[in-house]
Structure 1
């Protein structure tokens, strides 16, 4: 296959040339490119020279079509697009030079490549994959029209010798390429959530208490919290609750933030003592609805801890994640949880008969919600 040139009003996509090596080397010093893509890390001038020198051979073999993305007016390198072909399908990969981010370059370039793949190469499916946590890449895929299809568990290892990591998978069929234009409501929400999850999980002030990420140092306090008989009665925590369960919960909390599936907060006194937890889960992507659960240590009950923390987490969720509705559920035998939800502004909407299995037995639950 001979190299092709793709253009729009502002971008030129062409095969790499030897004189592109210096710009590729500078771009690939970026920590995010080295973290999220398959480029070598550390990235050397020899790596850049090899990358651009082998591009024509890959085109000739018909296996990989690699494009440098350049500013049509200045010739400045803006990014890279790669199309890996196999059996009538192709997979799209890309990176953006750090100096070109925030300008929509990768979406525009990706649209050019995708249209060429469907119209000229006649592929019947265009796929994409990325390590879970690469929210910027997932947002680009969504803006192109890709549909998120699942997670490959321990399915990706970007660099030789890396531990396998979970990966997102998405795909697009002919006719599904999204036309150029502003984000619709769902994509605007996806962009807001991506911006939040690309940063560290925050610490939130909550009426004299703090909400912070759960850490390994919380394991002993979590064990004490979850061995409270009320936790066994009203939640699904394992019984008997062991330190290994708490350690798993800490890993789950960390992974939830990385994946953008929600957020787990420890509720603490300013001095650091753990008083409880807040567990927020997003129900889709991009999420419009979330649900929330909470627990408070016996010694902290009756002091407004849960109400203050719930209000603070909900305020943060509406602002940082652009969520429209936060749902709450509790067993009908747990009026204390209902009082907390109502004090925080939730409206109880009904009773779900036999909704939840509690240690093998169906139980009725109240359900309610707080709207933005």
Structure 2
């Protein structure tokens, strides 16, 4: 490398330059400068095997150009690796939760391959072959959905409250373990879910302290505790996200019997669906419930879900293959909710802090 790399102009005509800072057989590095000479970050290539180079980049917080500038700089370095270094595979890695970095990799066409947990901080991994490398000015068609997801999960989880009731959705806390186990162990809760009783405090601790917060950190799901007017945990409501369809989420919920029969589940589910449509730009939320669970079906229909059919022998309920109803709610359906006027008018939203932990697999729930 003998000179400065000049990426394609970014969004809004932002002009960048990559000034070289390192050149060896195994590593190339640049400082990213804007057209005023201000440093916006760094980008580097490291050879990890013959014809395999790892792309890394950092951005100054609140740097001019933001994600678009980072993508243009990283794209220029990636193209340099292919054209000048005979790279046949480019790799990328970042700590789980570094959503801005992941978004840049996604924009350039990197395919995500999984997560490693061999260190204290789990890491995402992705790669791209030269013929699949995208220009930063030609992102995937669903890039706006990926950008919305990255922005939402880079922030703290929402706090959703139903005015006048004191009942609200919030992130799980360590003190929720006993109350959550109690909610899961109620016969009314276990009757229509795949929970195996007894639901031990150890399982409840894993769910509250590991599964829920790390799902948020990884951008895989939003899992919030249902809290009554005293703040005591009384179940959970969650929307799980799909990697193969960024516009669709899957809803699940569990509510302690003492909060049932008052319309609270409908209001809380509606509030979380509204948040997901607005913050994640989902177009469709799906929910499945075992046939016979008429209370859950009625609640979903009150929210605005349309029951589209029956999935025969779809899942095991107490070791017996059982049919499930499948219902969907579209963003466009919100103004047609039964009983009333679209969004849950009493819902209020603000942000609270989250607690990251170790990602775990979700238990199956109706």
- What TM-score range do you get, normalising by the shorter chain? 0.7 to 0.9
Deviations 1:201-237 (A, max 9, x none): 1111235321111111111111110111122221122
The alpha carbon displacement at 1:338 in A equals 0.6
Which residue number in structure 2 is paired with residue 212 of structure 1? 170
Which residue number in structure 2 is paired with residue 92 of structure 1? 55
Which residue number in structure 2 is paired with residue 271 of structure 1? 230
Corresponding residue to 1:77 among 31, 34, 39: 39
Which residue number in structure 2 is paired with residue 243 of structure 1? 201
Which residue number in structure 2 is paired with residue 11 of structure 1? 16
Post-superposition, which runs of at least 4 consecutive aligned residues in structure 1 deviate over 4 A? Answer: 182-185
The alpha carbon displacement at 1:148 in A equals 1.6
- TM score, norm. by length of structure 1: 0.82
Deviations 1:245-297 (A, max 9, x none): 11011120001110111111112233313333102100226621101111111
The alpha carbon displacement at 1:299 in A equals 1.4
1:171–1:214 Cα change, 3 Å: same
- Superposed CA RMSD: 1.8
3-state DSSP of counterpart to 1:284: coil
Which residue number in structure 1 is paired with residue 341 of structure 2? none
Distance 1:146 1:114 in 2: 11
Distance 1:135 1:219 in 2: 29
Which residue number in structure 2 is paired with residue 326 of structure 1? 285
Q: Please say if residues 238 and 245 of structure 1, whose CA atoms lie closer than 8 Å, have aligned partners that are also in contact.
A: no
Deviations 1:140-176 (A, max 9, x none): 1111121222222x14x4xxxxx2x221111111122
Which residue number in structure 2 is paired with residue 67 of structure 1? 30
The alpha carbon displacement at 1:101 in A equals 4.8
State yes or no: 1:129 paired with 2:93.
yes
Q: Please say if residues 4 and 17 of structure 2, whose CA atoms lie closer than 8 Å, have aligned partners that are also in contact.
A: yes
Q: What are structure 2's unaligned runs of at least 5 residues?
A: 10-14, 332-366
State yes or no: 1:107 paired with 2:71.
yes
1:292–1:99 Cα change, 3 Å: closer
3-state DSSP of counterpart to 1:100: coil
Distance 2:122 2:136 in 1: 30
Q: Please say if residues 279 and 293 of structure 1, whose CA atoms lie closer than 8 Å, have aligned partners that are also in contact.
A: yes
The alpha carbon displacement at 1:15 in A equals 2.2
The alpha carbon displacement at 1:93 in A equals 0.4
State yes or no: 1:284 paired with 2:243.
yes
The alpha carbon displacement at 1:238 in A equals 3.0
Distance 2:87 2:138 in 1: 27
Q: What are structure 1's unaligned runs of at least 5 residues?
A: 17-54, 158-162
3-state DSSP of counterpart to 1:175: helix
Which residue number in structure 1 is paired with residue 266 of structure 2? 307
Q: Please say if residues 108 and 139 of structure 2, whose CA atoms lie closer than 8 Å, have aligned partners that are also in contact.
A: no
Distance 1:191 1:167 in 2: 20
Q: Please say if residues 176 and 232 of structure 2, whose CA atoms lie closer than 8 Å, have aligned partners that are also in contact.
A: no
Query: Which is further off, 180-189 or 116-125?
Result: 180-189
3-state DSSP of counterpart to 2:33: strand
Which residue number in structure 2 is paired with residue 224 of structure 1? 182
Larger radius of gyration: 1
Query: Which is further off, 252-261 or 181-190?
Result: 181-190
Q: Within 5 A, what are the aligned runs for 1:160-239? A: 163=120, 165-181=121-137, 185-207=141-163, 208=165, 209-239=167-197
Where is the helix percentage greater, Structure 1 or Structure 2?
A: 1
